[in-house]
Amino acid sequence: MEKLREKAHFLEELASRYVPSIEREKSLRQLSDYIESQKEAQLVFVCSLNSRRSVFAQAFMQLAADYLMPGRIRTFSGGNQVTEIYPTVVETLRDFGFLIEDVERRASNTVYRVFSLRESFLLFSKKYSDGANPQSHFAAVLVCSTAEKECPFVPNADSRISLPYDDPKNWDNTPEEKEAYRKSAEYIATEMFWTLAHIKNPRS
């Protein structure tokens, strides 16, 4: 876990230098305001396939929470369709220092357990309404434009927050794939750390 802790420190420093656009900051502050309003916030990151961006957002928000405000946030993810976690996503998370174990290896949609600094969670592609996700008292964070269009209403969500990211899938099967996924992960991670850094007394 030492590598992951070092990465968390690096991401905290990166976030301290990050300056979002005015519109982006509004969305990030909507997320930080929701977290601040909760004793223990539950966040469900939603994308169309739950295979790339929503997975990065879930993992890095949990890392940021474990590092900056342990015990205050639990993260989840889901999509509009069930596919599988893209292998380069798993590889990228491991490169950042996450310990990831295969729980159930299948022909498709393998189930993983991801260990952050404090919490661990099961990771597999699923619909946002899956029973593994909270059914009430959560914020739905939509991290792709497709999910935003297809989920104008997320049942039982306390809040619906639009926070779209570019899709690293555009670089699949190219020489730039590995670097594109690293950059996508780092950008999402930076915004997750920025969000928590703008909560009053995040370590309390």
Secondary element (H or E) of residue 190: helix 177-197
Please report, for the chain, the start and end positions of each structural domain, with discontinuous segments joined by +: 2-197
Give me the tens of pLDDT residue by residue for the chain, a chain 204 residues long.
899 999 999 999 999 999 999 999 999 999 999 999 999 999 999 998 999 999 999 999 999 999 999 999 999 999 989 999 999 999 999 999 999 999 998 888 999 999 999 999 999 999 999 999 999 999 999 998 775 666 556 889 999 999 999 999 999 999 999 999 999 999 999 999 999 999 976 555
pTM above 0.85, yes or no: yes
> CA-CA distance, 163 to 159, in Å (whole number)?
13
- CATH value of 2-197 in 3.40.50.2300, 3.10.20.30, 3.20.20.140, 3.20.20.80: 3.40.50.2300
Q: Which residue has the tokens 């927050």?
A: 161
Query: How many Cα atoms sit within 13 Å of 53 on the Cβ side?
Result: 25
Point out which residues pair with 141 in neighbouring strands: 45, 161
What tokens does 160 get? 């619906």
The four Cα atoms 34, 196, 45, 10 give a dihedral, to 10 degrees, of 180
Angle in degrees, CA 134, 135, 139, rounded to 5: 65
